[in-house]
């Protein structure tokens, strides 16, 4: 059918809407453009003529009508032009939750993250836009506004998009959500959720002909980037530059064997030393260590079975099928865990009835499960304490003054002053360091891949094979010996 013009004016005598009979429609800016089209009949044979609009111009209306007719011709499906993006995101999330409740689908933690992304970013930014009208510029505007969150906006006028995002983040569970800027990795995660939803709208629900989010994200570190960030080694040159500028060369940094050893020596008296030891030697993820249960550990057989993880506040399944694995650890690790088990039993006796039997290997003094974020914060504090001791000594403090003023032990002072500078790494980077040192020690790539719970040895090789300085030196020595030279000394 041809587009037509209509308005909301009413007959002054009857009060009924005039629609397309309004005499003022001939005026240029009066009324909007609409169109009806012949859709497939209903199941009981009734005729359907859905209406699309309003549009500002006849040209826009004709283009939309052609798009709709093309979709009907391809799929035989009539799209719901009134459905907003927010409504579709909510419906899709409900379907995915239902799938998870029947034993399939995504993990609870993933669904919770998706729900948070929908509530904090996608619905405030795009929820009001009709799904069929969603375009790439809407999505680009959302990411632009996200990059402005909690950044210096003094003297700048906030966009309506940014205002909605700030309002959504203002209060969550009774408190302010966050006062930190949104990282590119977070924007990437938002894009992944949106892109997957719109792909479903095209392929499954048949509501769209094309995904407007496809190809939008191309910023550094975002979804357009291939692969994961590869670790860099904290070489002496990088450490020296960090000490001068406090700049960290890359997001993922790995300690050398000497640096890792210095940290473990320093943390030996820390209550959670066994956790640091397990992470540094055997590359377990933070959530895997926090979620580890005693029934899944055999100290005599030197084995632990990774079956669950606690990535946030709730216990969940491991990251993937490959992450469910058995780790065969060494005698030294077994001894560390035996001492820890004895200490935990002593704490249980000391707390008496107040003890909480969580069943976890690593707990608080009262037996309650650890909070993953608190573990990471404690790890960072130990590194800062180590470097603070070295700084105080460089400023002329005596060892006795450091112990007294900084409230550290003599053992910590001795290790920090005898060891190398300890540049910052994340707790997760102990896992990267473990992989690097296992490879440098000559452990087969496939074995390292299985220890870490990777999907394939190829992934392990791609990420870690060239990280360790020791590996590079070994390769250089081998190639030098392989090429015959007449005058070689």
- Could you give the CA distance from residue 74 to residue 77 in angstroms, rounded to a whole number? 8
Mark whether 15 and 117 lie in a shared domain: no
Tell me what pLDDT residue 79 has: 54
Tell me what pLDDT residue 288 has: 94
Mark whether 112 and 198 lie in a shared domain: yes
Mark whether 64 and 101 lie in a shared domain: no
- Could you give the CA distance from residue 275 to residue 278 in angstroms, rounded to a whole number? 5
Mark whether 63 and 175 lie in a shared domain: no
Q: Is residue 214 part of a domain?
A: no
User: Which residue, 114, 136, 128, is CA-closest to 213?
Assistant: 136
Three-state SS annotation for 201-238: HHHCCCCCCCCCCCCCCCCCCCCCCCCCCCCEECCHHH
Residue with tokens 């409740």: 101
What's the half-sphere exposure (Cβ side, CA atoms, 13 Å) at 321?
2
- Could you give the CA distance from residue 27 to residue 5 in angstroms, rounded to a whole number? 11
For 10, which DSSP code? E
Mark whether 373 and 301 lie in a shared domain: yes
Tell me what pLDDT residue 489 has: 47
Q: Is residue 280 part of a domain?
A: yes
Mark whether 22 and 161 lie in a shared domain: no
Q: Is residue 213 part of a domain?
A: no
Q: Is residue 134 part of a domain?
A: yes
Q: What's the domain range around 385?
A: 232-474
Reading the chain (489 residues) residue by residue, the pLDDT tens digits are 678 898 989 988 888 888 888 988 888 889 988 888 777 776 677 777 777 778 888 888 888 888 777 766 665 555 556 789 999 999 999 988 888 887 767 777 788 888 989 999 999 999 999 898 899 999 999 999 999 888 765 556 778 899 899 888 876 655 566 667 888 878 888 999 999 999 998 888 878 878 999 888 764 444 444 456 788 889 899 999 999 999 999 888 999 889 999 999 999 999 999 999 999 999 999 999 999 999 999 999 999 999 988 877 677 777 778 889 999 999 999 999 999 999 999 999 999 999 999 999 999 999 999 999 999 999 999 999 999 999 999 999 999 999 999 999 999 999 999 999 999 999 999 999 898 888 877 788 899 899 999 888 888 887 776 565 554 555 455 555 555 545 544
Q: Is residue 226 part of a domain?
A: no
Mark whether 394 and 311 lie in a shared domain: yes
Q: Is residue 18 part of a domain?
A: yes
Residue that terminates a domain, selected from 203, 218, 245: 203
Q: Is residue 310 part of a domain?
A: yes
Tell me what pLDDT residue 174 has: 54
Mark whether 283 and 385 lie in a shared domain: yes
Mark whether 163 and 242 lie in a shared domain: no
Q: Cβ distance 83 to 207 under 8 Å?
A: yes
Tell me what pLDDT residue 289 has: 96
Mark whether 34 and 116 lie in a shared domain: no
Mark whether 198 and 237 lie in a shared domain: no
**Tokens representing residue 82 in the block:** 């009134």
Mark whether 41 and 118 lie in a shared domain: no
Residue that terminates a domain, selected from 203, 224, 247: 203
The count of structural domains within the chain is 3
Angle CA(22)–CA(27)–CA(28) in degrees, nearest 5? 130
């Amino acid at each position: 059918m041809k587009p037509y013009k209509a308005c909301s004016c009413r007959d002054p005598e009857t009060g009924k809407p005039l629609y397309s009979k309004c005499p003022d429609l001939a005026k240029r800016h009066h009324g909007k453009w609409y169109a009806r089209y012949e859709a497939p009949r209903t199941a009981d044979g009734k005729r359907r003529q859905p209406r699309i609009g309003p549009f500002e111009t006849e040209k826009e209306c004709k283009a939309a009508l052609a798009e709709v007719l093309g979709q009907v011709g391809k799929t035989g499906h009539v799209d719901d032009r009134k459905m907003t993006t927010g409504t579709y995101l909510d419906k899709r999330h409900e379907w995915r939750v239902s799938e998870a409740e029947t034993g399939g689908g995504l993990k609870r933690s993933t669904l919770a993250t998706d729900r948070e992304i929908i509530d904090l970013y996608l619905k405030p930014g795009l929820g009001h836009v009709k799904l069929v009208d969603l375009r790439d510029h809407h999505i680009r505007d959302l990411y632009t506004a996200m990059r402005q969150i909690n950044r210096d906006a003094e003297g700048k006028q906030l966009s309506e998009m940014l205002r909605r995002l700030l309002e959504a983040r203002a209060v969550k569970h009774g408190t302010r959500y966050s006062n930190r800027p949104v990282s590119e990795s977070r924007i990437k995660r938002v894009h992944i959720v949106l892109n997957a939803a719109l792909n479903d709208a095209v392929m499954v629900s048949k509501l769209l002909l094309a995904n407007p989010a496809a190809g939008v994200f191309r910023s550094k570190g975002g979804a357009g980037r291939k692969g994961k960030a590869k670790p860099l080694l904290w070489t002496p040159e990088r450490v020296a530059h960090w000490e001068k500028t406090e700049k960290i060369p890359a997001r993922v940094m790995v300690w050398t064997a000497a640096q890792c050893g210095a940290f473990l020596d320093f943390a030996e008296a820390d209550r959670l030393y066994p956790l640091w030891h397990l992470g540094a030697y055997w590359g377990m993820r933070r959530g895997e260590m926090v979620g580890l249960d005693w029934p899944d550990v055999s100290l005599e057989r030197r084995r632990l079975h990774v079956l669950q993880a606690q990535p946030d506040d709730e216990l969940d399944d491991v990251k993937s099928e490959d992450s469910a694995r058995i780790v065969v650890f060494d005698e030294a690790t077994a001894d560390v865990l035996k001492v820890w088990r004895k200490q935990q039993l002593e704490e249980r006796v000391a707390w008496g009835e107040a003890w909480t039997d969580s069943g976890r290997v690593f707990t608080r003094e009262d037996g309650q499960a650890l909070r993953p974020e608190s573990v990471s914060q404690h790890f960072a504090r130990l590194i800062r304490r180590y470097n603070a001791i070295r700084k105080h000594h460089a400023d002329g403090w005596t060892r006795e003054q450091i112990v007294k003023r900084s409230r550290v032990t003599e053992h910590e002072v001795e290790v920090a002053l005898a060891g190398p500078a300890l540049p910052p790494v994340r707790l997760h980077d102990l896992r990267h360091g473990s992989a690097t040192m296992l490879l440098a020690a000559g452990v087969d790539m496939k074995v390292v891949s299985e220890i870490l719970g990777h999907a394939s040895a190829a992934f392990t090789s791609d990420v870690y094979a060239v990280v360790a300085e020791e590996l590079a030196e070994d390769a250089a020595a081998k190639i030098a010996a392989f090429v015959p030279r007449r005058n070689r000394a």
